[in-house]
Structure 1
Amino acid sequence: MEPRAAGAFRRALPGVASGLALWIALSCAAGEGQPPRFPRPPGDAAQAAAPHRQVLRAIYEELIEIDTTEARGSCTEAAQAMASRLLAAGFPAKDVQVLVHPDNARKGNLVARLRGTGAKRPLLLLAHLDVVEALRRDWSPDLDPFQLVERDGFFYGRGTSDDKAMAAIFVANLVRYKQEGLVPDRDLIVALTADEEGGAHNGVAWLLANHRGLIDAELGLNEGAGGRFRQGKRLFNGVQASEKVFQSFALETINKGGHSALPVKDNAIYRLASALSRLSTFDFPVSLSEVTRTYFARMAPLEEASTSADMKAVLATPPEPGAVARLSASAYYNALMRTTCVATQLEGGHAENALPQTARAVVNCRILPHESVAEVERTLIRVVGDDEVRITKVMAPQPSPPSPLTPSVMQPLEAITRALWPGVPVIPIMGTGATDSLYLRRAGIPMYGVSGLFSDIDDVRAHGKDERLGVSALYEGQEFLYRFVKSLAGGG
């Protein structure tokens, strides 16, 4: 889940704070996590659920085995395959559309609608079809990233966790609602889109610009969080309510150069290297929001004693420096506490036997949603401390507002989590990366990253080698989203 940054920061933090406070007051106390299990309904209901799992399994396999990478894949093929599933289930053609970007025939998007009474505005169910690159030689010898393999309690394949599980679940559950004759209070819109992971044809941005009416909604669900377990013990079910701002800066220095046989101290590469060295030792100050403060408060009881104490200590005003230093050793906790900037690309020089005339680096920043891009740029200039190193934005900043954690969303989320996984708390999360929720939040549609798909907090394989998702996790996520969507949809 990594698009180019998007969204526009608005005056939403007060809404997040008030909604979060009300939710905390209404929610139950967090308890101990439970070992992973599939929540089977009693008696004959368990057998009745089996066909829906079989439908999901078939859809999941079909999606995984369609290559949807930027280099050679086709999101259009995947969108058409899902459209065929829905049409075969009895959805009218007017409610199942594959919309292809006019500049690239491989960048298709599916938009499907289950019509309700219209008593409420629609609910958007968003997932992306594209996946990051995966080469056969980079995976284990007995695994092909574009063949679904079920082994030792896991599904292996590119996109098994990011994000074809949610895409398959939304399609399978839409078929299930159709078969049940569900007529909700609001339309349910499933949108499966292209280029979330990058590329020039982002489906959500294109649909908002050209087909807004097809995906306009009161609120929506997307990736961005999920459940986490450690050593077989469930920790929490996450809901992503905000994201950091993606912003890259170019650091560049220019020199007259010369012959390498006559070196001088003023060297473009050395000057840039010194600037990057100063940046590498700098940390932005800790700045917690309502979402991240609640995250640490709710995670503290779930961690071992020393980490728990540190989490409580960073909630103090000011945060305890020793606790900050210890938590910062975790890349994830460090990213939650502060803005981060890191060098990601480097180039310089033009010939082996010439002094460099230019040297350039890209520094990628992930900025806290309540902090200013302009202030981060001023901080970079101060830390680099060299007027000969020019700092410019690689692209215009596009922050997004947080989504308010209102009781209408949080109460059913809490209740369903308790029903499926007793004692597991719901914890709000700020995304340290980025998802397509940014575009929709910017457009005024609150988005909530919630899936009910549990994964190992210490073994994250999305975007990497041997990506996988637990078999039971897939089916539990299906049941969770089936119930949660119905609750948000209302009606019978």
Structure 2
Amino acid sequence: MVFLVQPLLAAPSFAQASALRPDQARFRALYKEMVETDTSITTGSCTALADKIEGHLKQAGYGADAITRYSVPDHPKEGGLVVILPGTSKTLKPLLLLGHIDVVVAKREDWTRDPYTLIEENGYFYGRGTSDMKAMDAIWLDAMMRFKEQGYKPKRTIKLAYTCGEETSWAFNGAHWLAENKPDLIAAEFALNEGGGGRSDGHGKIIVANMHVGEKAAENFKLETFNPGGHSSAPVPDNAIYELSDALLKVRDYEFPIQFNDVSRAYFTKAGAARGDDLGKAMIALAKDPGDKAAEATVNQDKSLHSMLRTTCVATLIEGGHANNALPQHATATVNCRVAPGMSAEQAQAALAAAIGDPKVKITREAARGPLAKQPPLDPKVIGPAEKLVAKYYPGTPLIPVMSTGATDGIFLEAIGIPSYGPPGTYGDPDGNGTHGLNERAIVKAVYTGRDLLTDLIKAYAG
């Protein structure tokens, strides 16, 4: 069944309202090629896109010695690359740009438009990966190509790592592999990664710009129920599927307590003040008093803000039974949790068990995605240049540090001493722009403005 998702209000057209400059047209072609190269785990290939990226880099003037390709034999379609633009300083540590090029699986029959065709419509780019994260991938590549072609000599070495496996827990994760096997290749003082950006009011106006500082931990738990089963002609209430269903309903209804940290409290205070509406007032009130139930009820209506406040768990996969004429003997479900800093996976599991309240439901923690996230410092040399460029490109818009409710590959960098930040630049709508879901989209104007801001930001950091 085709499910239609329409923008809240079409953003003003950018590329279609005025002719693109030659440099913008080339950037758009890179973006288009990235979106239209399927890099999903089922039907796509990151290696195929890495081949194309390598070709563009060589055409821009990078030699083979500047480009490192990597992969492992049992995951031939999940390869990536690292490219390096040397700096002139012998004392400044490098800057690392990180971009995962894999995307979440998209089924054509579910989408309104072909997910692997870049379609520009009503001020939006539609297609899988347009927001997560091929716009930033294209911006990184475009910048590195222009730097080389223009003869730009940065003081600080600039490294760009394209990786696969960020979107799939059982795939070959390039960032993890590089951190463990090639730490010197990607060594840097800090990294720029996904997770930042900004947020609009849903009507084309950017309200806040964000610097991603820290994130939740992704944890998966398997719920299982067991039963002797029997013939379906003689049903009984004791049923593995019913028991699992009851447990999942309790997971649905359980609300983890509010758990502010320094970054999330600052975000609610500053972003609330920037909004100035009832939601903004509730955000400020809740930051002051987490026990304010009226303010919490207002804030909880926004799914993104609701997730920033606490650990969240949700059922994502389910399987049960073995025949259509037999009582189920076994049923399983995967519950995906995003655990807030300060709470361990063991504490989250214990909270789930208490909420379910049925010892017959077996709860098992699945393999961890990676190390726990380490919150990078609010370093003035990172925050300061970003604030200046936000003031230039988005006058009057505050830059506010934010804790990501998702999970990024920054955890693997932080584990080897490379702080990872998600810079401002692009921005999205309050509904999330279909990221990981149907009809993913990116605001056209945000992509082009973000390209300019992020290119300037790289230069500001690199010197």
Is TM (by shorter chain) over 0.5? Answer: yes
Aligned equivalent of 1:442:
415
Matched, 1:69 2:40: yes
Greater RCO (Cα-Cα under 8 Å, separation 6 or more) = 1
Q: Which residue of 2 aligns with 1:113?
A: 84
Match of 1:133 among 105, 117, 129: 105
Q: Which residue of 2 aligns with 1:180?
A: 150
Map of 1:179-218 to 2, 5 A cutoff? 179-198=149-168, 199-218=170-189
User: Which of 111, 131, 147 in structure 1 is aligned with 2:117?
Assistant: 147
| Change beyond 3 A, Cα 1:386–1:134 | closer
Shift of 1:219: 0.6
Q: CA deviation at 1:334?
A: 1.4
Instruction: Give the match for residue 398 of structure 2.
Output: 425
Name the counterpart of 1:281: 253
Spell out the pairing of 1:166-315 with structure 2 (5 A cutoff).
166-198=136-168, 199-230=170-201, 231-303=203-275, 305-315=277-287
Does structure 1 residue 103 correspond to structure 2 residue 71? no
Q: 1:481 aligns with which of 451, 454, 457?
A: 454
Q: Which amino acid aligns with 1:392?
A: T
Shift of the alpha carbon at 1:139? 2.9
Distance 1:188 1:249, change over 3 A: same
Give the structure-1-normalised TM-score: 0.85
Shift of 1:101: 2.6
Query: Is contact 1:83-1:97 (8 Å) kept?
Result: no
Q: Which residue of 2 aligns with 1:25?
A: none
| Cα distance in 2 for residues equivalent to 1:197 and 1:332 | 19
- The structural deviation recorded for 1:451 is 4.5
SS state of the match for residue 273, structure 1?
A: helix
Distance between the aligned counterparts of 2:106 and 2:331, measured in 1?
31
Rounded Cα–Cα distance in structure 2 between residues aligned with 1:139 and 1:277: 28
Aligned equivalent of 2:8: none
Partner of 2:362: 390
Which amino acid letter does the alignment assign opposite residue 189 of structure 1? K
Q: Which residue of 2 aligns with 1:403?
A: 376
Which of these residues, 299, 308, 312, is aligned with residue 327 of structure 1?
299
Aligned to 1:380: 352
Rounded to whole Å, the distance in 1 between the matches of 2:35 and 2:225 is 45
**Are residues 182 and 274 of structure 1, via their aligned partners in 2, closer, same or farther at CA, if it must alter by over 3 Å?**
same
Is 1:357 aligned to 2:329, yes or no? Answer: yes
Structure 1 Cα separation of the partners of residues 290 and 108 of structure 2:
50
SS at match of 1:419: helix
- Which has the higher mean CA deviation after the structures are superposed, 332-341 or 342-351? 342-351
Relative distance call for 1:451 and 1:273 in structure 2 (3 A) is same
Q: What's the offset of the Cα at 1:37?
A: 10
Paired residue secondary structure (1:126) = strand
Q: After TM superposition, give the deviation of residue 352 of structure 1 in Å.
A: 3.4
CA distance in 2 between partners of 1:283 and 1:424 (Å): 33
Task: Give me the whole-angstrom Cα distance separating, in 2, the residues matched to 1:292 and 1:460.
Answer: 22
1:59 to 14, 30, 53: 30
Structure 2 vs 1, CA of residues 157 and 390 (structure 1 numbering), >3 Å: closer, same or farther?
A: closer
Return the offset for 1:262.
4.1
CA–CA distance in structure 2, aligned partners of residues 335 and 185 of structure 1: 40
1:221 touches 1:447 (CA, 8 Å); kept in 2?
yes
* TM superposition shift of 1:479: 0.9
Residues 43-54 of structure 1 aligned to structure 2 (within 5 Å): 50-54=21-25
**SS class of match (1:450):** coil
Query: For residues 375 and 35 of structure 2, what CA distance do their matches in structure 1 show?
Result: 31
Equivalent pair of 2:192/2:422 in contact (CA under 8 Å): yes
Asked if structure 2 preserves the Cα contact closer than 8 Å seen for 1:128 and 1:193, the reply is: yes
AA paired with 1:178? K
Cα deviation, residue 126, structure 1: 0.9
Could you say if the C-alpha distance between residues 416 and 325 of structure 1 is closer, same or farther in structure 2, counting changes exceeding 3 Å? Answer: same
Query: Are residues 318 and 270 of structure 1, via their aligned partners in 2, closer, same or farther at CA, if it must alter by over 3 Å?
Result: same
SS in 1 for 2:395: coil
In structure 2, give the amino acid aligned to 1:210. Answer: N
CA contact (8 A) 1:52 1:172 kept: no
Q: Tell me if the contact between 1:80 and 1:98 (Cα under 8 Å) persists in the aligned partners.
A: no
Mapped contact 2:220–2:368 kept (Cα < 8 A): no
| Structure 1 residue runs without a partner (length 5+) | 1-34, 39-46
CA contact (8 A) 2:217 2:339 kept: yes
Report whether the alignment pairs 1:158 with 2:128.
Answer: yes
SS of match in other structure, 1:333: helix
Q: Do 2:221 and 2:336's aligned partners in 1 also have CA atoms closer than 8 Å?
A: yes
More deviation, 167-176/407-416: 167-176
Q: What is the SS of the residue equivalent to 2:76?
A: coil
**What is the distance in 2 between the residues matched to 1:70 and 1:252?**
26
Give the deviation of 1:286 after TM superposition: 0.6
Which TM-score applies when normalising by structure 2?
0.90
Residues 36, 234 of structure 1: 8 Å contact kept: no
Change (3 A) 1:107 1:326: same
Distance 1:448 1:37 in 2: 30
Task: Give the SS at the match of 1:326.
Answer: helix
1:365-398: CA deviation from partner (whole Å, max 9, x where unpaired): 1110221211112222222222222211122363
* CA 1:58–1:301: 2 relative to 1, 3 Å: same
Q: 1:355 to 1:437 in 2, by over 3 A?
A: same
